[in-house]
Amino acid sequence: MRPLTDALLVIDVQNDFCEGGRLAVPGGAQVVPVINGLITEFQTVVLSQDWHPEAHSSFASQHPGRAPMEMIELAYGPQVLWPDHCVQGSTGAAFHPDLHRDRAQMILRKGTNRAVDSYSAFYENDRTTPTGLDGYLRNKGITSVTVVGLALDFCVSYSAVDAARHGYTVEVLTAACRAINVAGSLEAAMGDMTAAGVTITG
Ligand code: VGL
Ligand code: ZN
């Protein structure tokens, strides 16, 4: 069992990011048994859930003439346009049915502001609006976080980098992650995590 100061952060293991989902990450469901094993080792487990209102500004469907996976500029910077996904209350937004969610103390929903996307479990993509996760972890005396889930090159890496910036010791276990890899995003994410001092292990 890991010490009480370690938390497992399970990012967005939801139906829409798994095979058959609306933004399926290749091999997404393969992380589920690996993460179920990890969940037994940690005394603090946080699950995040991408949780968008219909008509979220990150959806290509909201931008006439634009297609999924194109980039645009929003008020807070560049934004990849996604297929509609993880709409609040939909089956796609639910956790993968095999994920052992019952041992989690905390479920954090993000991306609920229509105007701003939120990859990181700590901040919206404006990089200034906090979700409250830092306060939760700090208040419990957590000093080290292990980050796993979907997708490695978006929500996992953004969360890992923010955790490192907040002074946590951060480890990403790639065997429990899968990537989308659009326009060099995986290589960029690996560079960002390394630069932030995140330990990346296989
Ligand atoms: C994610 C793209 C859009 C993720 C969420 O969980 O990595 N990626 N929304
Ligand atoms: Zn999303």
Nearest CA among 191, 188, 170, 192 for reference residue 180: 188
Q: For the segment 19-74, what is each residue's pLDDT rounded down to a tens digit?
A: 999 999 999 999 999 999 999 999 999 999 999 999 999 999 999 999 999 999 98
Nearest alpha carbon, ligand 1 atom 1: 155
Mean predicted confidence (pLDDT) in 83-95:
98
Q: Which residues pair with 59 in a beta bridge?
A: 82
Q: Which atom of ligand 1 is nearest to the CA of 154?
A: 7
- Could you give the CA distance from residue 62 to residue 68 in angstroms, rounded to a whole number? 11
Tokens standing for residue 72: 């645009």
Q: Which atom of ligand 1 is nearest to the CA of 52?
A: 9
Mean predicted confidence (pLDDT) in 104-120:
96
pLDDT at res. 78: 86
pLDDT at res. 47: 98
pLDDT at res. 183: 87
Pairing of strands 6-11, 144-150: parallel
Q: Which residues pair with 177 in a beta bridge?
A: 149
Gap from CA of 154 to ligand 2 centroid (Å): 9
- Could you give the CA distance from residue 46 to residue 95 in angstroms, rounded to a whole number? 13
Is any atom of ligand 1 closer than 6 Å to the C-beta of 93? no
Task: Tell me the one-letter amino acid at 179.
Answer: A
Mutating to test ligand 1, I would choose from 9, 11, 12 the residue with most ligand atoms within 8 A of its C-beta, which is 12
For the chain, what are the domain ranges? 6-51+88-201
pLDDT at res. 77: 86
Q: Which atom of ligand 1 is nearest to the CA of 12?
A: 6
Ligand lying nearest the CA atom of residue 68: 1
Task: Let me know if domain 6-51+88-201 sits in CATH 3.10.20.30.
Answer: no
Q: Which residues pair with 82 in a beta bridge?
A: 59
* Distinct helix (H) and strand (E) counts, the chain: 4, 8
- Could you give the CA distance from residue 4 to residue 131 in angstroms, rounded to a whole number? 22
For the chain, the straight-line distance linking the first and the last C-alpha, in angstroms and rounded, comes to 20
- Could you give the CA distance from residue 39 to residue 53 in angstroms, rounded to a whole number? 29
Gap from CA of 59 to ligand 1 centroid (Å): 11
Q: How would residue 76 be classed by pLDDT, with cut points 50, 70 and 90? A: confident
- Could you give the CA distance from residue 162 to residue 94 in angstroms, rounded to a whole number? 25
Q: For the segment 169-186, what is each residue's pLDDT rounded down to a tens digit?
A: 999 999 999 999 998 999
Mean predicted confidence (pLDDT) in 102-122:
96
pTM of the model: 0.97
Is any atom of ligand 1 closer than 6 Å to the C-beta of 16? no
